[in-house]
């Protein structure tokens, strides 16, 4: 792996220069604010950069992870022994054609919701308080208040790293389901087209205010966390199950189940990724022992967690 990383670094350095970083700290890039460094880190600014990444990945077979705003990511304390990509500023753009709103993969979802409001377009109010980029939100089919990206996405634009080409994918072929898609492995979401509807700006703004207030009231926004840790089982809520199983207030090291919302883990002073993953396993055991339900994590694990105690 070390030889492969060295070769990939040489290739990407030739294409991207000093924009390629090594041993890059991931702590500032995730909302958990914990975890080790990325061996290689790049913010692609164009399809040309992604083509260089594609060539390096196909030749060296190094591991690649794409992150957006880092709101559903837990990075191992050991870091990530591969390449981390985060789309750069040139992928942060918007456009409008009638009731269609387009955006680049790096566009923050709350900002895109604001653009929709400015044009009097309804349908994206639920996303105004989701701390994600458009690319990340599409990839995991982010949602809130009973709605998700699948309800508004018409087309997804991706760069296929394994094939070295751009591909538009109709929403029907993206495999949207609860908190996931079936986009091809190595697909970087570079943009998306959303189909919205004309609406009254005052009503749109009111729904957005309600969504923001609900999040402020129910979630631990002032503490480092990754958002919802577990997916909701069909017909139930992870938070209810965790609280009923006695998990609320449980802690490991510096990580604790939030007293405000049982499906949130907050990282306190001195917390590390091992604390969080150990707490996740403990909560899974509690709920499974009480209800016979295995909670599936919504958070993405980046790096090696094999050394974390079970």
Q: Which residues are catalytic?
A: 179, 228, 298
Residue with structure tokens 């701390």?
131
In sequence order, the 6+-apart residues with CB closer than 8 A to the CB of 124 are 101, 112, 113, 116, 152, 194, 196
Q: Which residues of 60-98 are buried (b: 16+ CB within 10 A; e: fewer)?
A: bebbbbbbbbbbbbbbbbbbbbbbbbbbbeebbebebee
In this structure, how many other beta carbons lie within 10 angstroms of the beta carbon of residue 59? 12
Cα gap 61→1, rounded to integer Å: 9
Task: Pinpoint the alpha helices (H) of the chain.
Answer: 2-16, 47-60, 109-118, 134-140, 201-218, 238-244, 273-291
User: For residues 83 and 57, is the Cβ–Cβ distance under 8 A?
Assistant: yes
User: For residues 308 and 274, is the Cβ–Cβ distance under 8 A?
Assistant: yes
Distance linking the first and last C-alpha atoms of the chain: 27
Bridge partners, 165 (sequence order): 160
Residues in the chain, total = 310
């Amino acid at each position: 792996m070390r030889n492969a990383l060295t070769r990939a670094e040489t290739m990407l350095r030739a294409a991207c220069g000093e924009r390629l970083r090594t041993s890059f700290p991931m702590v500032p890039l995730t909302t958990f604010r914990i975890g080790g460094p990325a061996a290689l880190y790049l913010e692609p600014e164009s399809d040309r950069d992604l083509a260089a990444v594609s060539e390096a990945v196909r030749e060296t077979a190094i591991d690649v992870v794409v992150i957006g705003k880092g709101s559903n990511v837990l990075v191992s304390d050991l870091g990530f022994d591969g390449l981390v990509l985060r789309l750069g500023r040139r992928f942060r753009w918007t456009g409008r054609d009638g009731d269609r709103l387009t955006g680049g993969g790096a566009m923050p979802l709350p900002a895109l919701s604001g653009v929709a409001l400015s044009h009097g377009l309804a349908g994206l109010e639920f996303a105004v308080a989701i701390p994600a980029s458009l690319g990340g939100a599409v990839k995991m089919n982010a949602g809130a208040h009973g709605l998700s990206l699948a309800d508004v996405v018409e087309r997804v634009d991706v760069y296929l790293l394994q094939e070295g080409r751009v591909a538009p994918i109709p929403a029907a072929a993206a495999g949207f389901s609860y908190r996931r898609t079936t986009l091809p492995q190595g697909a970087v979401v570079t943009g998306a087209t959303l189909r919205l509807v004309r609406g009254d700006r005052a009503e749109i703004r009111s729904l957005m205010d309600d969504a923001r207030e609900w999040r402020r009231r129910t979630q631990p926004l002032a503490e480092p966390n990754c958002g919802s840790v577990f997916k909701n089982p069909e017909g139930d809520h992870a938070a209810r199950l965790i609280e009923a199983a006695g998990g609320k207030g449980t802690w490991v090291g510096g990580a604790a189940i939030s007293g405000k919302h049982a499906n949130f883990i907050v990282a306190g002073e001195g917390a590390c990724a091992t604390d969080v993953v150990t707490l996740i396993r403990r909560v899974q055991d509690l709920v499974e022992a009480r209800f016979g339900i295995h909670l599936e994590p919504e958070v993405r694990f980046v790096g090696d967690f094999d050394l974390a105690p079970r």
